[in-house]
Structure 1
Amino acid sequence: MDFSKNILETIGNTPLVKLNKVVAEIDALVLAKVETFNPGNSVKDRMAVKMIEDAEADGRLKPGGTIIEGTSGNTGMGLALVAIIKGYKLICVISDKQSKEKMDILRAVGAKVVVCPTDVEPTDPRSYYSVSKRLAEETPNSWYVNQYDNMSNSLAHYEQTGPEIWKQTDGKITHFVVGVGTGGTISGVGRYLKEKNPNIKIWGIDTYGSVFKKYHETGIFDENEIYSYITEGIGEDILPKNVDFSLIDGFTKVTDKDAAVYTRKIALEEAIFVGNSAGACIKGLLQLKEHFKPDDVVVVLFHDSGSRYVGKMFNDDWMRERGFLEENITKAEDVIKDHIDKQLIVVRTEELVSHAIERMRKYKISQIPVVDINGFVGSVDETDLFRSYVADKNVAEKPIKEVMGKPFPIVKLGTPIEEVSKLFTKENDAVLVDLENGNHHIITKYDIIGSIK
């Protein structure tokens, strides 16, 4: 009989799959190392086992102990599998930008999950780096994994992932492309491959908001480059010890939008359901296409499963809210379709300025059409009201008709967006859309900006 003694024995030996449509622009053979075939559905299973076994061997992790780690979710899942099989407790400290699915999965496999804010400095006591260290100090019989500086991380990929890729490509690999977070995968695989063939190029995929690319190119750790970003699992605001920059030939940065869009493309064009960093890797490949020749064999690593992002990149509403959804915004009706059911807020000519101000506060709007019994006769916006108030402190008790400006232009639902945009001027901050049922809707400058792809 052919069976594994436990689930940990199924880790590794993941398939290498030829990519076709999504890399049609690249004149080379592109192969994906699909790590979602690991039991924890990510590449992190490999180093989770290695880090725990090495800690057991040298006494850092003792029987019945508690494993503590700051994670973006995937390492936590790998650690959870090992903890279950070996009888350890696990506390995962995770940042609030990670998907809900990742948090739910970690809880499902018995981990205690502590959520920390993303938008703080690494040294901030609330950061997931700091919280992880503090919990390790406070928890009896515990071991802090620290995947960033734990060199068993990259060693796992030197011993496993690198040799697998070399064998699967029959030594013909010319380029390895992978997202860089802790640095374990790129450094471990990169070291093995360059030992086999120093001419193999190792490319890292970075994200905007991360320090890797500039540091690699200049040696400067530029804190001005650090800001919050959406892409999960790659990029950092620290320099992990596992990132061996001497092994990396170059980095390319990919935007949050491109990473999200290409994550969906992989599913739709290759039938491979993988996570956010895979989308970043494919867009990065396309950005690097001039580096590849027809005879090259390019291996790109897909880190994890798309199941961890169904509430994010694979959710139309989430994508639309961030302007990531590839939609054709061509007419006035396209701009307002997501909020067309909202009531148009108006103010009447004889109402007081204070009524308009209160309505702006209540509905968080900046422009209001003014109506009388005949229809639209004027408009007010917060800038005009502010100027009026500075000139006359009693303006709040005056009727709207004394301070209102010209009425907003009115367009039809099918009006091209280019024509709508031309109606916005220094004197005019909104346009009304005739809904053809006796009602109207408003388009503001922010709506137009939000529709830009």
Structure 2
Amino acid sequence: MPSVPSTKESPVKSPVCPHAGKLLSHSNGDAKLREGSFPLNGIEKLTVVQNPEDSSKTIQINTKNASPERKWIRPDLPSRCTWSLGASKASFFLLPEPIGDTPMVRINKIPKVFGLKCELLAKCEYFNAGGSVKDRISLRMVEDAERAGILKPGDTIIEPTSGNTGIGLALAAAVKGYRCIIVMPEKMSMEKVDVLRALGAEIVRTPTSARFDSPESHVGVAWRLKNEIPNSHILDQYRNPSNPLAHYDTTAEEILEQCDGKVDMLVVGAGTGGTITGVARKLKERCPNIKIVGVDPEGSILAEPEELNKTDKTQYEVEGIGYDFIPTVLDRSVVDAWYKSNDEESFNMSRMLIRDEGLLCGGSSGTAMAAAVNVAKELKEGQRCVVILPDSIRNYMSKFLSDKWMVQKGFLREEDLMVKKPWWWNLKLQGLNMSAPLTVLPTVTCQKTIKILKEKGFDQAPVVDDAGLILGMVTLGNMLSSILAGKIKLSDPVSKVLYKQFKQIRLTDNLGKLSRILETDHFALVVHEQIQYLTDGSPSLKQMVFGVVTAVDLLNFVTGRERRERSMSESTDEL
């Protein structure tokens, strides 16, 4: 595989990796980070604050007297890789055990259910040491950086990640003695946080909703930390050529060996794009007629043509795949077709793989397999489709493995789980006696809001804008803990302590769904939808606050109804 030309002369005379020169741009030395610099919009200082409840960390940003430029390297720069089909190949690069040489298994029951004629095989990447396909690139990036003279003993590794690359890097850092800081969005599972913490990594969480080029995103925060911490390096899986090279040199070779060189279709979920790029390049060289299918979740923009990405969704629950930018290492030219997946089919397929095939895989594995059973219908008997299963169930024990979580997210119907339901289960929420909602504007001070909540006997209130649209929730507990921790002042507006991790429920939903929500949450926000017409005449669906309901409200309704029915029954008996 040809090398990637560097933009500056490398001080390393004979790097082991032909791409090692490119890695020098990750150094904390005299490399100029001019690419992607732009005004910081008033941000001066980023502070990492320890969360006493779960030992995770949050970000505080000071917006006064900001530096005029932000130093970072965009993760979506055009690739300078010179690979082309038929070009000369680099030498085979072997990763040490127990990373690599993962098993390939035949899927037996699922193809029959979906009427497939071809052979369906799955490469189980969760057998790697850290539990995912990302172990391959993590070790490769670290060792290439060491050979290039970038990483030295005592240095710090920082990486923005959805978790699995972070686990792989933390594993390597634990063995090799580096400090490791992992920056990842809030939506990623607590199981990943626990594993990272056990490996000695420091964890920083960022808002899931932040765009990749925002200073508050996991990418932006990682670069800010890198610029502030001496001898720190971002190995940068989004740009690092070692990412696709690891798969070109190992994953693809293993697939070819395990399939005796015969593969007709490859189905891979796309995140950074390193897996699909590296594997597809090698397979296209050795199997010219192979069809490469990339899988991209709804809400992501990786798929082509662009029309496939048109959707109102901006977020999704599946972790580790999909992005709101095109990573540098993703070579979309090697992908022959794209499949857009959704959360429901992904998680239900993951559960099916576990139940019917005995494969303890994660959510993105279900995404890839759900795509495969659809696109592989075009294959004939005697042909072969390979699906890569990226990670294991370990990271998602509290998510799609849980029936309650699946029901709460709308991916599973409650009636499919319960044989006998209480009498009130299917009653609509409209039957609850809910008082008029108490709402506050985002400009109201914390001091005033605390006073109002105490006077009215509420623990929480929705925060809405002037048009009545929901911005978030504010709770007494959240405000008081933030004030005591010194994060906010009493005079600050409640917009600084908005709580957005709350559940919403509609008036048309049943009390059973409310009951499930209240098993894990203290309250649910009751909303009703209205159609609002904009100035151009186009309709827009808006959610408005109807009320806040708690477990006490549900309990009062159930006991009150039972008490009335008991009284009526006793009166009838007396007659």
Query: TM tier, shorter chain?
Result: 0.7 to 0.9
Provide structure 2 residue ranges, at least 5 long, that are not aligned to the other structure.
1-94, 440-455, 462-511, 513-545, 547-556, 566-575
| Deviation for aligned residue 1:61 | 1.6
Other-structure match for 1:153:
243
Instruction: Give secondary structure in 2 for the equivalent of 1:227.
Output: coil
Q: 1:335 to 1:47 in 2, by over 3 A?
A: farther
Q: Does 1:293 align with 2:372?
A: no
1:210-246 residue CA offsets vs partner (Å, 9 max, x unmatched): 0012xx224x897976711111111110100111011
- Which residue of 2 is the match for residue 233 of structure 1? 320
User: Is this contact kept in 2: 1:211–1:225, CA < 8 A?
Assistant: no
Matched residue, 2:110: 22
- Bigger radius of gyration, 1 or 2? 1
SS in 2 for 1:240: coil
Q: How far apart are residue 433 of structure 1 and its match?
A: 10
Q: How does 1:17-416 map to 2 (within 5 A)?
A: 17-24=105-112, 25=114, 26-213=116-303, 216-218=304-306, 227-328=314-415, 345-346=432-433, 356-357=435-436
**Which consecutive unaligned segments of at least 5 residues does structure 1 have?**
1-6, 348-355, 366-412, 414-428, 441-453
Q: State the Cα deviation string for residues 56-87 of structure 1 (Å, max 9, x = none).
A: 11122222110000111111111111112211
Greater RCO structure (CA 8 Å; 6+ sep): 1
**Structure 2 vs 1, CA of residues 90 and 249 (structure 1 numbering), >3 Å: closer, same or farther?**
same
**Alignment coverage as a number of residue pairs:** 359
Is the Cα–Cα contact under 8 Å of residues 252 and 287 in structure 1 kept in the other structure? no
Identity %: 41
The Cα shift of 1:148 comes to 0.9
Pair 132,29 (structure 1): closer, same or farther in 2 beyond 3 Å: same
Contact 1:23 1:282 in 2 (8 A): no
Aligned to 1:374: none
- Residue 417 of structure 1 corresponds to none
Report how far residue 286 of structure 1 moved.
2.1
Give 1:23 shift.
2.6
Q: Give the direction of change, closer, same or farther, for the CA distance of 1:345–1:113 in structure 2 (3 Å limit).
A: same
1:357, distance to aligned residue in structure 2 (A): 3.2
Q: CA deviation at 1:438?
A: 5.5
Q: Output the CA distance in 1 between the equivalents of 2:293 and 2:559.
A: 53
Does the residue aligned with 2:305 lie in a helix, a strand or coil? helix
Distance 1:343 1:241, change over 3 A: closer
Distance 1:439 1:208, change over 3 A: farther
Distance 1:318 1:142, change over 3 A: same
Q: For 2:305 and 2:134, locate their aligned partners in 1 and report how far apart those are by CA, in whole Å.
A: 27
| TM-score w.r.t. length of structure 1 | 0.72
Letter in 2 for 1:171: G
Q: How far does residue 285 in structure 1 lie from its aligned partner after superposition? A: 1.2
TM score, norm. by length of structure 2: 0.57
Q: Please state whether the residue corresponding to 2:175 is helix, strand or coil.
A: helix
Tell me, what secondary structure is at the counterpart of 1:9?
A: coil
Deviation string for 1:319-368 (max 9, x for gaps)?
1111111444799x86986698x997449xxxxxxxx5379996999xxx
In structure 2, relative to structure 1, the CA distance for the partners of 1:358 and 1:169 (3 Å cut) is: closer
Please tell me whether the aligned partners of residues 298 and 309 of structure 2 are also in contact (alpha carbons under 8 angstroms): no
